Amino acid sequence: MRGAYQDLILPDIRQMVHEDDLDGLAAFCGVVHPAMVAEILEELEDTQIWIILNQASEEVRVEIFEYLSLRHQAELVERLETAQLSRLLEWMSADDRVDLLTRLPAIRREESLRLIAQAERNDIRRLLQYDEDSAGAIMTTEYASLPAAITVREALERLRQQAPDSETIYYVYIVGEDRHLDGFISLRELILARTETQLSSIMQRDPIRVRASEPREVAAQTLARYNFIAVPIVDASDRLVGIITHDDVLDVVQEEATEDAYLQSAVAPLEDTYEETPLPVILWKRGIWLLFLSIVALMNANVIDHYRLTTSGSQEIPATAGLASLILLFLPLVMASGGNAGSQSATLFIRMFALQPSDERSVGGPLVDASLIWRELIIGLCLGGTLASLDFLVAWTWFGRSVSEAAAIALTVVTVVTLGTSAGTLLPLTFRRLGMDPAIMSNPLIAAMIDVLGVVLFYEIGLMLLT
Amino acid sequence: MRGAYQDLILPDIRQMVHEDDLDGLAAFCGVVHPAMVAEILEELEDTQIWIILNQASEEVRVEIFEYLSLRHQAELVERLETAQLSRLLEWMSADDRVDLLTRLPAIRREESLRLIAQAERNDIRRLLQYDEDSAGAIMTTEYASLPAAITVREALERLRQQAPDSETIYYVYIVGEDRHLDGFISLRELILARTETQLSSIMQRDPIRVRASEPREVAAQTLARYNFIAVPIVDASDRLVGIITHDDVLDVVQEEATEDAYLQSAVAPLEDTYEETPLPVILWKRGIWLLFLSIVALMNANVIDHYRLTTSGSQEIPATAGLASLILLFLPLVMASGGNAGSQSATLFIRMFALQPSDERSVGGPLVDASLIWRELIIGLCLGGTLASLDFLVAWTWFGRSVSEAAAIALTVVTVVTLGTSAGTLLPLTFRRLGMDPAIMSNPLIAAMIDVLGVVLFYEIGLMLLT
């Protein structure tokens, strides 16, 4: 139902922009959920996006904008004048605003901050201070709070006033002098209580809290453990400084799982999604690990060489020479290079599937952009080429192999890495297409298949170049 | 702050149970958050747990019980009489109840269902019908709903009545005839609206929904995308049948990430956490994949053998024989076995860390139970032994190797797999202990280190047995 939505509406929107149908676009922004509008906008050009956003009311515009990916947001505001940018920032919610500001160049950040009201500015600067992975960095300062010495009736009255500026009014924090966190009460409890009851008599004292300086995972786990909608964040003196809400925690959990999956397959964590990350960044984040792992594998070849030379002295084990010795020494390197590059691709694609909006996962639709598959091929060639160059040099100089022997290794490595990358991309993709879990194409399984490929290629290339 | 909590209170609780201080235990259950009580109970014996649970009020008892792990819940109810079990089930929330029921033996399930009121029973049977991975299986039927033709004042009145039986009253669904989902309104909007307004004029029409038959990930992603607290679940005729709340979605996201991480490292998904899964189940879930991967590696040895025999005919490449040829053929197998077993351990432990409650992650505390490390050693020996037996047989019969050669392979494999499993356990553990991200100990890195180990061991064992 939702799957067809985007495909149906996108051509209409494109036409409206083309025909300058501003009323139609305004109606579209007003009626459709901002998250859905944002998803449709992601498919358009930056200029088109601004045409549409400008038709929405200021409030809705900011809402839509906040649903766009951070990378896209940063790109879009490049076109804005400083005054416009400041206005946009002023309307944004505190946590999203800080996320965007950290992505802007320092000069632009300072320029736009100067045009924002002093109170807000202090708020922003405080949030910008927190360590990137701390609870403080993902909290919002827009929470609902009340004093303890008022009645439930008054509390509901005041909440109505706070509602427009609060991320949630379902959880209300009771603060004392100097914003010290004294208690907590949920809107549910307020609704159920008698209107003349004092908050102090029904509030929960000493509520569970997280320090702003603690890692953001601590906040995520606390909220998850107690099934909270939000968790209060306090400073070192136990003063309430913000809240972290359930939706932020979901993002944290997803990001942490992605980071762990990447690291586990030897890909340095990426700032954006894999699709959005530029090619040079990917080459660096994957290549640096592959190079390191190749160096370990070359050290391993050295160990094998040591044993080969030691054992060749004994009568019973004759020396191996030529192709066989080349393969004995460098087959582990070839296998590791292909397997590791393939595992990287598989992990990146499987994680991409896991994070994809559900409607794009429907059978039949395009699972990934064809350009991503081509990009993966280029990545394979570049990574393979780099590793092959290293291997060629080390085999030729350190191991004293002939140029044609070193070339055989290099040629095998570049082929195996490219094929490994392709297999790591296409196998999970095929499984997904068949409606099966792509994660079944595990890294060891892909590595095992590439191992066979590596043996065949190494022998064939060796026979071709060396005989 | 919370970290010390458990350590401080556990000895007190043990003593209270020992001294039969029922009032103290009742006070403990009444004051401390049920999630925290549950965490402390997880450390105690089943009989002790029941002593404590019986001191809590029925409502709190069920709440605490629901926070226990599913496996623990199933164990605990084994001791209950059918009447007691029925009573417990009646008090449980609809989704948690169904989860527990699916874990019970069929006879026991039927027995206890018979004692539950007819209306509830129908409800349970309906939920039990849904496919395990569908949205229907994780939804709860305890949602707040209202007709469209009432005023805000009436709506708030009715919500007060529904509150005790609703998982959340912050999202209210407007249902028409035959429970057709007509609209949605949040409690925030209700609080802000004029009391005499009709719901039909302020409700959001055609709200975003998920079909009960759709995969649970679809519900999770829908909720995540729109930052909802809950998402309505409908049947094929668009009738409201339940809701899925933010906390369930967090669980789904964690479980899916865990399942993907396991599959990616060739571990079949587990029903419980790794710590809680019994040894035979783990051996099966890990062993079946390792065996399969070993068979692929043995096929690879066959390919190498084919090339070895083909190329040995040519003048320029002399035949390799003895230890060198054994190593050429079976080194990939040895490396794959050790690397794969090590990757499994590393993934299982890294995922365990990621899911651990935050207070146990504090520096200095015990990161994992020492018994888990010993268990990992036993797992390594068992898995290594199984793979070694297979390798011995295949090398001896299929490849026609001598008994001592086959024994050299087998001995190397069992050693490498055991060491690999230990490295996969201890390296992430050490990194965690040093306050670093254990995921840096990536599977390729552990595999690369085990590769070196494999070479040294294979040569040393070969030299020992064959010369």
Q: How far apart are CA A411 and CA A405, in angstroms?
A: 10
Stretch B199-207: mean pLDDT: 92
Asked if B224 and B351 sit in the same domain, the reply is no
Question: What residues make up the domain containing A338?
Answer: 265-466
For residue A292, tell me if it sits in a domain. yes
Q: Which of A121-135, A303-317, B327-341 has the lowest mean pLDDT?
A: A303-317
Q: A359-363, B215-219, B259-263: which range is least confident on average?
A: A359-363
Contact B323 A331 (CB under 8 A): no
Sign of CA dihedral B435, B416, A456, A310: positive
Unique residue bearing structure tokens 């913000």 = A242
Q: What's the mean pLDDT in A312-325?
A: 55
Structural domains of chain A, count:
3
Same domain, A341 and A435: yes
Q: What is residue B58's predicted lDDT score, i.e. its pLDDT?
A: 85
pLDDT at B3 over 50: no
DSSP conformation class of B269: P
Q: How many CA atoms lie within 13 A of A41 on its CB side?
A: 31
Determine the residue of chain A that is closest to B347 in CA distance.
A264
Residue B436 DSSP SS3: coil
How many residues are recorded in chain A? 467
B353 and B431 Cβ atoms separated by less than 8 Å: no
Residue B257, in any domain of the structure: no
Residue of B233, B358, B359 to mutate, testing the A interface (most A Cβ within 10 Å of its Cβ)? B358
Averaged pLDDT, A274-291: 91
Least confident of A258-267, B6-15, B306-315: B306-315
Query: Taking the C-alpha atoms of A107, A111, A113 and A114 in order, what is their torsion angle to the nearest 10 degrees?
Result: 140
Residue A41 vs residue B415, higher pLDDT: B415
Q: Give the whole-angstrom CA distance, residue A285 versus residue B420.
A: 26
Q: Report the share of chain B in percent with pLDDT over 70.
A: 94
Residue of A nearest to B440 (CA): A263
CB < 8 Å to A427, chain B: none
Strand arrangement, sheet containing A171-175: A144-146, A171-175, A181-186, A204-205
Q: Are residues A405 and A318 in the same domain?
A: yes
Instruction: Name chain A contacts of B293, Cβ cutoff 8 Å.
Output: 444-445, 448
Contact list in A for residue B250 (CB cut-off 8 A) is 223-224, 246, 249-250, 253
Q: Residues A191-236: pLDDT tens digits?
A: 999 999 999 999 998 899 999 999 998 999 899 888 899 999 999 9
CATH number for the domain harbouring residue B166? 3.10.580.10
Residue-level pLDDT at A385? 96
* A380 in Cβ contact with A349 (< 8 Å): no
What confidence score (pLDDT) does residue B361 get? 45
Q: Does residue A333 lie within any of the structural domains?
A: yes
Average pLDDT over residues B387-405: 92
Determine the pLDDT at residue A2: 41
A275 and A384, same domain (yes or no): yes
Q: Does residue A285 sit within a domain?
A: yes
Using a CB-CB cut-off of 8 Å, the residues of chain B touching A296 are: 445, 448-449, 451-452
Cβ atoms of residues A9 and A33 within 8 Å: no
Considering only CB atoms, which chain B residues are within 8 Å of A437? 263
- Looking at the predicted structure, is the pLDDT value of residue A87 above 50? yes
**Domain termination site, one of B130, B159, B183:** B130
Quick one: B303 and B355 in the same domain? yes
User: Is B303–A456 a contact, with Cβ atoms under 8 angstroms apart?
Assistant: yes
Question: Rounded distance, CA B390 to CA B387, Å?
Answer: 5
- Residue whose tokens read 């209306």: B119
User: How high is the pLDDT of residue B59?
Assistant: 85
What pLDDT digit, counting tens, does each position of B13-66 carry?
A: 888 888 888 888 888 888 888 888 888 888 888 888 988 998 888 888 988 999
Q: What is the pLDDT of residue B6?
A: 67
pLDDT for the residue B132: 83
Q: Read off φ and ψ for residue A143, nearest 5 degrees.
A: -115, 165
Instruction: Tell me how crowded residue A447 is: count the other CB atoms within 10 A of its CB.
Output: 34
CATH number of the domain that residue A423 is part of: 1.10.357.20
One domain, residues B149 and B109? no
Domain termination site, one of A101, A131, A161: A131
pLDDT value at residue A366 = 57
pLDDT tens sequence across A404-436: 999 999 999 999 999 999 999 999 988 888 888
Residue A137 in any domain: the answer is no
Q: What pLDDT does residue B117 have?
A: 78
Q: Are residues B121 and B179 in the same domain?
A: no
Q: Do A257 and B354 touch (CB under 8 A)?
A: yes
Based on the fold, state whether residues B110 and B219 are members of the same structural domain: no
Mean pLDDT of B261-279: 88
The number of angstroms, rounded, from the C-alpha of B356 to the middle of its chain's C-alpha atoms is 12
Contact across the interface for A264 and B266, Cβ inside 8 Å: no
- Range B334-338 average pLDDT: 93
What is the side-by-side strand order in the sheet with B210-211?
B210-211, B230-234, B240-245
Greatest alpha-carbon pair distance for chain A in Å reads: 100
Residue of B304, B323, B361 lying closest to A455 (CB–CB) = B304
Give A-chain residues touching B208 at CB under 8 angstroms: 2, 33
CB contact under 8 A, B35 and A191: no
- Residue of chain A whose alpha carbon sits nearest to that of B342: A444
Whether A159 and B253 lie within 8 Å, measured CB to CB: no
Candidates B234, B136, B293; CA nearest to A444 is B293
pLDDT category at A153 given cuts 50, 70, 90 is very high
Is B381 in the same domain as B273? yes
| Pairs of residues, one from chain A and one from chain B, whose beta carbons lie less than 8 Å apart | 289
DSSP line for A220-263: HHHHHHHT-SEEEEE-TT-BEEEEEEHHHHHHHHHHHHHHHHHH
Which of A321, A335, A346 faces B332 most closely, judged by CB atoms?
Answer: A335
Mean pLDDT of B92-117: 84
DSSP bridge partners of A346: none
Residue B109 lies in a domain: yes
Give me the amino acid identity at B340.
N
Task: Quote the CA–CA distance of A150 and A382 in Å, as a whole number.
Answer: 67
Domain boundary pick from B130, B157, B192: B130
Judge whether residue A14 has pLDDT over 80: yes
Which neighbouring-strand residues pair with B448? none
Half-sphere CA count of B465, side-chain side, radius 13 A = 20
Question: Do B109 and B50 fall into the same domain?
Answer: yes
Question: Which of A169, A293, A442 lies at the smallest CB-CB distance from B188?
Answer: A169
Q: Which residue has the higher pLDDT, B186 or B119?
A: B186
Mutate to test the interface with A, among B95, B225, B326, B432 (most CBs of A within 10 A): B225
**For residue B160, which residues of chain A lie inside 8 Å, CB to CB?**
191-192
Q: Does the pLDDT at position A365 exceed 80? A: no
Residue of B nearest to A334 (CA): B332
DSSP A196: T
* Identity of the residue in B250, B257, B314 whose CB atom sits nearest the CB atom of A249: B250
Which chain A residues are within 8 Å of B361, Cβ to Cβ? 218
CB contact under 8 A, A303 and B218: no
Q: Quick one: how far is CA B100 from the chain centroid?
A: 15
Q: Which of A214, A246, A299 sits opposite B452 (nearest CB)?
A: A299
Task: Report if residue B137 sits inside a domain.
Answer: no
pLDDT given for residue B79 in this prediction: 82
- A171 membership: H or E segment, kind and range: strand A171-175
Residues B95 and B31 in one domain: yes
Q: With contact defined as beta carbons under 8 Å apart, do A406 and A395 qualify?
A: yes
Structure tokens at A1: 């139902």
Helix and strand numbers (H, E) in chain B are 21, 7
In a domain, A260, yes or no: no
Residues B289 and B227 in one domain: no
